[in-house]
Chain A
C-alpha cells in the first residue's frame, strides 16, 4: 500500500485538476458522467474480472440504488427527512447492498452459464416490475428529483455542475480506494482463487458459494453508490437505467478496458463515456463504431486496453520501448487512412441525399466518384497496414527478446 501512495495522490490530484482543464459545460458534464461510470464499471469488475461471475443484470443494483436516491432527494425536498445531499450515494449503496444480499443469496449458488442466466432473468424481472410498480419506478416516465432543496453543505447548494463534480470525485476516490483494498483482503483474494479454480478453492477450506456471495454483495453496494451519484447528477431516473442495455454497457466498459487489471474498467469507462458524449454529436452511427470496437477488442486485445498498455512492460523494463515508437507511427498512417475510408463509407451509406463533408470534399451517395474515393482510401489503408505489419512485428520481437538475452547474460 505504501508503494502505491504516489499513485493514489496522483489520482486525487487529477480529480481535482481535471475540471480546471476541461471547464466547459460539456467538459464538466462528461467528467460527471465519468465519475458515475467508473464506479459502476469497477463494481462490475468485482464480479467478472475478480470473481469470474458473468452478469447480464448488474444495472439492477445501479438502478435500484438510483431510484431510491431520487426518492430520498424528494423526501429531503419535502422536509420529511433531514439528510445531507452529500451522503445520498450511501443511500444508493445501502439499497444496492440489500438487493444484492437478497438476490445473491440464491444466484451465487452457481457460477458460469447458470449464474449468467439467473442474472439475465432477474434483470428482466426487475424491468418488468418497474412498469408494474409505477408509484416507485414512475412508469415509463421515470422519477424526477431536485438536489438543491437539501440543507447546504458548508454553503454549497449544488446548483452548479462543477459542485456536483467535486462531490462525485470525492465518492469516486473513496469507492475506488475501498474497491482496491477489497482485492487485498482474504475475501478479495479468495474471489480470484474461486475464479481460477473453484474446485481447489473448496479443498483448501472455502465455500465457493460464500466467496462469490461476498463479492456479489460488495459489487451490488458499489453499483448502488454509482446509482446514487447518477441520481444527484441527473436528478432523474427511468427504467432504462436498470435494464439490459445499461447492464450491457457496463459489461462493454469493463471488457474493453480490460478485466484482468484493476484500472481496466476505469480506462473502459473513460473511453466509452467519451464515445457516448462526443461521438454521438458527430454521428448517428456511433453505436456501430462502439460495436466494432468491442468486436476488435475481443478478437485482438483479449486483455483490453489496459492489457495492451501492460503488454509493453517487458520492453519498458529493458529500455527498449523507444524502438517501438517509429514502427507504431508508421503503422498508424495506413491505419488512419483505413479508418477514414471506412468511416466515410459508413457515413455515406446512410446519408441519403445529404452531402457528406469529408476533409474538404463534398461527397454524395449518388456519386460513383465519392464511393470510389472512399473505397480507394480504405483499400490503400488496408494494404498499407498489411505491408507495415512485418516491420512492426520485427520491432516488437526485437524490443522483447533482446531483453531476455540481456537477462541471460546477467545470470
Chain B
C-alpha cells in the first residue's frame, strides 16, 4: 500500500483552478521530486498535502487514512513534516530552541506546563544530536534570525526533520544557495532523509536527477508524467513543456 495517495485532487481560488485533478501515489521509502515551470502549482500542491490549504475536491490519504482538510497540526502529528520555500523559523528564539520546539510534540510533551525543559535530558540530547547533524552545534545559543542564509536553510531542514516524521516534504531546499552550499545541503538532505519518504520540489535539475527515485512533472496544475528519472528525461511531453530545458547529460 502507498504511504501517500492523492486522488483527483483539485484546488481553485475563486474561478481560477490551480490544481486540476491530480492523482499521485507515493510509496514508503521513495524519494519523489515534483518539477514543473514556475506557477505550475507545485507549492500549492505542498500546501494541500500539509494542510495549509483545504482541497476544493478530491481526497488525500496518508497511511490509509484521509487527511485532506485537516488543520496543519493534525497532519504534522500523523507524521508529515515539511519545510518552506521561504525560510520559516522562529527568529527570536535560539537555534537550539528552534530544534527543541520542533521535537516537543513527537516526544510526547504536548502542552504540558508542569515539566521543566531544562530537566528533560533525553529531549535536550536529541536536540543537540540534530544540531550536530545539520552542522549548527556551535551556533546553538544564537538567535536563529541572526544566522547566515545557508545556515537558516539548514535550520529550516532541521526543524522539518526533527520530529522524525515518516514523510518529509521539502519545498526548494537549495534555492538561493551557492554551488558549494547547495552541495552541502544535498548531502545533508540525503543524510537526514535516510530511510524516510521524501517529496521535494526543486528547480535545480541536477539535484532532482541526483536524489529522486521518481519524478512527477506538474504543468498548469496537472501532472503530465510520473516516472523514473531516465524515462522522464526521454518523455516527449515533458520536453515540450520545458521547451528542451531538461538537461540531456545530467
Contacts and interface: CB of A to CB of B under 8 A. Distances in A.
Interface string B37-48: 000000000000
Contact of B163 (A189, A197, A200, A204): A204
A196 B90 CA distance: 5
Contacts of A214: 111, 113
B121 interface: no
A185 B116 contact: yes
B186 interface: no
B214 interface: no
A323 B116 CA distance: 40
A190 B97 CA distance: 10
B106 A200 contact: no
Nearest to B76: A205
Report which residue of A182, A201, A205, A211 has the largest number of chain B beta carbons within 10 angstroms of its beta carbon.
A205
Contact of B73 (A181, A186, A202): A202
Report which residue of A187, A200, A206, A210 has the largest number of chain B beta carbons within 10 angstroms of its beta carbon.
A200
Interface in B96-124: 97, 100-102, 104-106, 109-118
Interface size of A as a range: 20 to 34
A1 interface: yes
Given A186-B109, A192-B93, A206 B118 contact: no
A375 to B, nearest CB: 44
A200 B112 contact: no
Contacts, number: 100
Nearest to A196: B90
A188 interface: yes
A207 B111 CA distance: 10
A363 interface: no
A200 to B, nearest CB: 5
A154 interface: no
Nearest to A218: B113
A202 B104 CA distance: 12
Nearest to A195: B92
B104 A186 contact: yes
Top 6 A-B pairs ranked by shortest CB distance?
A205-B105, A187-B113, A196-B90, A202-B72, A186-B109, A205-B76
Interface of B: 50-52, 71-73, 76-77, 81-82, 84, 88-93, 97, 100-102, 104-106, 109-118, 159, 162-163
